[in-house]
Amino acid sequence: MSIYLIALLFALLGAAIFTVIGLISGTDETAIMVPITLLVILLGAPPEGVFAFFMAGVLAKHLTHAVPTALLGIPGDTTAVPLIDHANTLRRLGMPHVALRKMISGGVIGAFIALPTAVLLGQFLGQFADFFKSSSGIIFTLAAILIAFFSKGKWASLLIIIPFAFFIKALDSVSFAMLDKHLSITFFLGIAIGPMFCNILMAASPVAKNDLTRSKQNQYNLAPETKSWKGYFPNPFKILSKRQTIFTSITTFLSSLTFVFSPVGMTSLMGEIVGSRTKGAYKKSTTSLTVMNGVTESTYIAEAIIPLIAFGIPLSPVALGPASPLFNAPPIFTVDPVNNLHTLMSSWDFFIFGLIGISVAALIAYPFAMNYARKASVLVLKYISQEAIVAMFIGLAFLLAYNEAQLLGVVLTFTVATVGGLLNRILGVGAGVQFMVFYASSWIMLQLFGI
């Protein structure tokens, strides 16, 4: 079978899985992307297939997570948080479907602008790759400090860098003594599912439980939908006004270049810049939503692709979170030495297989979200329980950890999840900081203690 056909099939698979997952609101980006992408890699998918799968998954998920954001007024996941105010304005005005259509049309445009931009920038930065690779230890440490300072935990995040590096290194030494090999999937699975696991632990403790107990069920107000255009496949350029298309194109191009900032931060910034130049509540909300969703998409894609092409080491918030398996999924992909998509694919491959991925996602998720948004969210809200979803992800984490190091892997993953999750939930030390410290830990410990 030709590699293009294989990539196409993986893209279809990614788009199908994540179109459904995107509808489930409140899902944590990293906790979901990491285990599923890891599975595809460990099952032996070729690098091109993995990349097409990931790109299709990312876009499909972002397109359908606009559904709960617009229709229910709850963020589809953390990247949708900055959009919630504008989405709520339109929802209150009885136009949630307008919000939805603007958002996802912006997202599609953002994706197709970001891909070529990111590939070109990645290739350009590639000439500095040797410098980055040879001094990755200190770069990871500096990046950890930077990300820590800008995380929710701020000073707390900075203070725990060394203790957390020590914690990681200690676990690594113990597991190395037992297995004679270094583990890594177990570590970052732990970091990824930490916040979810922490909630479960808190619920199991009578002391901590109070924060999480609710006397009532969550209520969701689902807005009505008015079908206003004919045909199955809408043209995104017709959904947007010319002004919105231009603004989206400019902002998504710019945000594709800023791959070291967090997507949420870029989204808020660009939305604010464009929104403040637009008068009238309706126009302001629709234009902001279009631009913001476009920017989320482009930052996300650029942050995954640029470090992959240029360095092969994860040097952006997305590369450290949801895209981390593309860099590091031993024994198949490794960061030290660099043996991952960076070495296995050319820039041209990234463009072609990325294009296959986002095209498939656009063809599946875009018309789906445009046509069946309301029906699909009713189905999910009425029939799929949160218990089943949380249990599924814990089961997946268990499976992957067991596969890497049997019982030790499972214990290790849940140890990291406990510590990382509590740091995340209580002190605001985000998963990005923890991933960065994980990569920096060897260098930090070497400098401090010579081991």
Q: Which residues bind another protein (CB under 8 A)?
A: 25-28, 39, 42-44, 74, 89, 92-95, 98, 196, 199-200, 203-204, 206, 209, 212-224, 226, 228-229, 241-243, 279-283, 378, 381-392, 394-396, 398-400, 402-403
Q: Minimum CB separation from another protein for residue 242, in Å?
A: 7
| Amino acid letter, 4 | Y
Backbone CA torsion sign across 28, 31, 34, 39: negative
Show Cβ contacts of residue 299 under 8 Å, excluding neighbours closer than 6 positions.
Answer: 114, 255, 256, 258, 259, 261, 263, 266, 267, 318
Cα–Cα dist 442/313, whole Å: 15
| For another protein, the closer CB: 232 or 449 | 232
CB of 4 to another protein, least distance (A): 23
Please say which residue, 214 or 337, places its beta carbon nearer to another protein. 214
| Least distance from another protein to the Cβ atom of residue 24, Å | 9
Distance separating alpha carbons of residues 92 and 87, to the nearest angstrom: 9
Nearer to another protein, 92 or 178 (CB): 92
165 and 386 in contact (C-beta within 8 Å)? no
Residue placing its CB nearer to another protein in the complex, 93 or 446: 93
User: At a CB cut-off of 8 Å and minimum separation 6, what does 254 contact?
Assistant: 270
**Shortest distance, CB of residue 412 to another protein, whole angstroms?**
16
Scan for tokens 């234009």, then name that residue. Answer: 287
CB 419 within 8 A of CB 427: no
Nearer to another protein, 240 or 352 (CB): 240
Burial of 3 (0-12, 13-18, 19+ CB in 10 A): middle
For residue 140, the minimal CB distance to another protein (Å) is 29
- Tokens at residue 246, please? 């231009």
Task: Provide the minimum distance between the beta carbon of 193 and another protein in the complex, in angstroms, as a whole number.
Answer: 11
Cα–Cα distance measured from residue 20 to residue 105, given in angstroms and rounded to the nearest whole number: 19
Residue 333 phi/psi, 5° resolution? -115, 135
Q: For another protein, which is the closer residue by CB, 123 or 418? A: 418
Which CB sits closer to another protein, 127 or 228? 228
**C-alpha distances in angstroms, 179 versus 172, 173, 276, 404, 406?**
10, 10, 58, 11, 11
* CB 385 to another protein: min, Å: 4
